[in-house]
């Protein structure tokens, strides 16, 4: 059975939602395996825009099903908003959504903590303020609430009271909602999910089905935001690479391929190093043409040029088997495009950053390549060949517009 993973190869927002939506027609399952509502995956389907934060990017009109794995942290409030929006256009779609009861929940306290901590930091991370870091922190420090706690009301109330007690001491009594209030709200949200007919089924119960049917694993964020290997501490709080498939009982050895989605240029939202950031007119032009504003927070994305040292690092760190290049159309009409081929790190040339530390203080060494009027032009093909040759990673598909169908396989196209 077909089984692939699609992950972000940069700092997120590479177009994963659109790409996953394109492939999802050929798969029976799309599984989100990490992160939470910090993600914003945009899909243009029949000229209507949808932004999925938690719901997997399944084909809306097919019978493909979506699974939210235990590697995620789920804000039930947000999930219901998204499902209701989708239901308005595709009645019954929620019945195609499955949740692992083992998953941890994002609580109102986590969102409040995210804001308090960001405001306290001398150098903010620039989080999405969706409560992600605090939810994963509570998971690791064993105070978290799992979805299955909602079926045992006594245990739920007890755990909420304990967590609230800890937080009130840590945050000097600043938590706005009491445990009873959160308890009542969570039970109401559970009832709403039940009335939407979503399924509560664990990865263990799904093991046989997932092995008999085709599965596409949808990554969130990007490798450079990975908790362990991204530009720490300017990262998210979860793994972003394909090994997240272990949250549904798979090994990466069981995947046919791991495709990394990358933009033809680079963007980043929030703080942290970004060696190829362009603070000038060209960066602003890319932002304007690429509509580079956050799908979750609306913040302007920082924009810059393609970064080959970062992509080499990502290739080796994450075991990608190929790339999918998106948004090349945004660079149409640029006379020249810059590509970073190496870093100057404190006077030393580095083509392959050895650790995430090398991204701090790295000065980009650029080459200029001729631009292209449109993505059918030979210069664009040369650009792709250059990326392949420089990173050792083949490019299997390109995306040339935001709509789901605007994708093309490169095999025949390269032969032209």
Q: Return residues touching ligand GDP (CB under 6 A).
A: 8, 12-18, 40-42, 44, 291, 295, 326-327, 329-330, 399-402
The number of angstroms, rounded, from the C-alpha of 338 to the middle of its chain's C-alpha atoms is 26
13 is catalytic: yes
User: Known catalytic residue: 110?
Assistant: no
| First-last CA distance in the chain | 32
User: Which option in Mg ion, ligand IMO, ligand GDP, none does residue 127 bind, with CB closer than 5 to 8 A by kind?
Assistant: ligand IMO
Q: Does 239 bind ligand IMO (CB under 6 A)?
A: no
Which helix or strand (DSSP H or E) is residue 395 part of?
Answer: strand 395-399
Closer Cβ to ligand GDP, 149 or 327, answer by number: 327
| Closer to Mg ion by Cβ: residue 57 or 393 | 57
Among residues 8, 239, 364, 402, the one that binds ligand IMO under rule CB under 6 A: 8
Task: For residue 384, count CB atoms less than 10 angstroms from its CB and return exposed for 0-12, middle for 13-18, buried for 19 or more.
Answer: buried
Q: 42 vs 202, which CB is nearer to ligand GDP?
A: 42
400 binds, among Mg ion, ligand GDP, ligand IMO, none (CB under 5 to 8 A by kind): ligand GDP
Cα–Cα distances in angstroms (integers) from residue 350 to residues 101, 126, 265, 298, 362, in the given order: 45, 28, 20, 34, 9
Binding mask 267-306 for ligand IMO (x = CB under 6 A): --xx------------------------x-----------
* Span from 58-66, 121-129, 143-151, 168-176 in contact with ligand IMO (CB under 6 A): 121-129
Q: Does 292 bind Mg ion (CB under 5 A)?
A: no
- If you write DSSP's letter for every residue of 173-228 in order, what string do you get? T--SS-HHHHHHHHHHHHHHHHHTT-EE--HHHHHHHHHHS-EEEE--S-GGG-TT
Closer of 314 and 339 to Mg ion (Cβ): 314
Residue 128 binding target from Mg ion, ligand GDP, ligand IMO, none, CB below 5 to 8 Å by type = ligand IMO
Cβ atoms within 10 Å of 339's Cβ, excluding its own:
21
Give the contacts of 395 (CB within 8 A, at least 6 positions apart): 322, 323, 324, 325, 384, 387, 388, 410
Q: Which stretch binds ligand IMO (CB under 6 A): 36-44, 162-170, 280-288, 321-329?
A: 36-44
Stretch near ligand IMO under the rule CB under 6 A, chosen from 60-68, 129-137, 138-146, 303-311: 129-137
Beta pairing, strands 41-45 & 302-304 = unpaired
Q: 369 to each of 306, 341, 353, 379, how far by Cα in Å?
A: 11, 12, 23, 8
Residues with catalytic annotation? 13, 41
């Amino acid at each position: 059975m077909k089984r692939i993973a699609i992950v972000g190869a940069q700092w997120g927002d590479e177009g994963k939602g659109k790409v996953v939506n394109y492939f999802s027609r050929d798969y029976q399952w799309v599984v989100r395996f990490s992160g939470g509502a910090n993600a914003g995956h945009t899909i243009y389907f029949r000229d209507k825009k949808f932004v999925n934060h938690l719901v997997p990017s399944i084909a809306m009109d097919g019978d493909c099903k979506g699974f939210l794995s235990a590697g995620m942290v789920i804000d039930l409030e947000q999930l219901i908003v998204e499902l209701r929006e989708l239901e308005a256009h595709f009645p019954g779609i929620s019945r195609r959504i499955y949740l692992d009861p083992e998953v941890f929940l994002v609580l109102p306290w986590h969102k409040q903590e995210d804001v308090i901590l960001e405001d306290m930091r001398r150098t903010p991370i620039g989080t999405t303020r969706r409560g992600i870091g605090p939810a994963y922190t509570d998971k690791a420090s064993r105070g978290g609430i799992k979805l299955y706690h909602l079926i045992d009301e006594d245990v739920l109330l007890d755990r909420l009271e304990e967590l609230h007690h800890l937080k009130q001491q840590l945050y000097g009594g600043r938590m706005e909602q009491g445990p009873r209030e959160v308890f009542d709200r969570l039970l109401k949200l559970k009832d709403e999910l039940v009335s939407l007919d979503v399924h509560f089924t664990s990865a263990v119960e799904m093991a046989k089905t997932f092995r008999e049917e085709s599965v596409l694993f949808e990554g969130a964020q990007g490798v450079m935001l990975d908790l362990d290997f991204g530009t720490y501490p300017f990262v998210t709080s979860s793994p972003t690479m394909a090994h997240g498939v272990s949250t549904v009982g798979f090994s990466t050895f069981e995947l046919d391929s791991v495709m990394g989605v990358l933009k033809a240029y680079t963007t980043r939202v929030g703080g942290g190093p970004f060696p190829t950031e362009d603070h000038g007119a060209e960066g602003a032009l890319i932002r304007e043409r690429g509509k580079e504003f956050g799908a979750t927070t609306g913040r302007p994305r920082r924009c810059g040029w393609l970064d080959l040292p970062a992509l080499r690092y990502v290739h080796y760190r994450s075991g990608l088997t190929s790339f999918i290049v998106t948004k090349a159309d945004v660079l149409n009409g640029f006379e020249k495009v810059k590509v970073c081929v190496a870093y100057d790190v404190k006077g030393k040339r580095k083509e392959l950053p050895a650790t995430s530390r090398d991204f701090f203080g790295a000065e980009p060494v650029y080459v200029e390549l001729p631009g292209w009027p449109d993505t059918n032009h030979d210069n664009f093909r040369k650009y792709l060949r250059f990326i392949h040759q420089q990173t050792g990673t083949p490019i299997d598909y390109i995306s040339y517009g935001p709509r789901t169908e605007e994708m093309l396989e490169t095999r025949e196209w390269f032969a032209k």
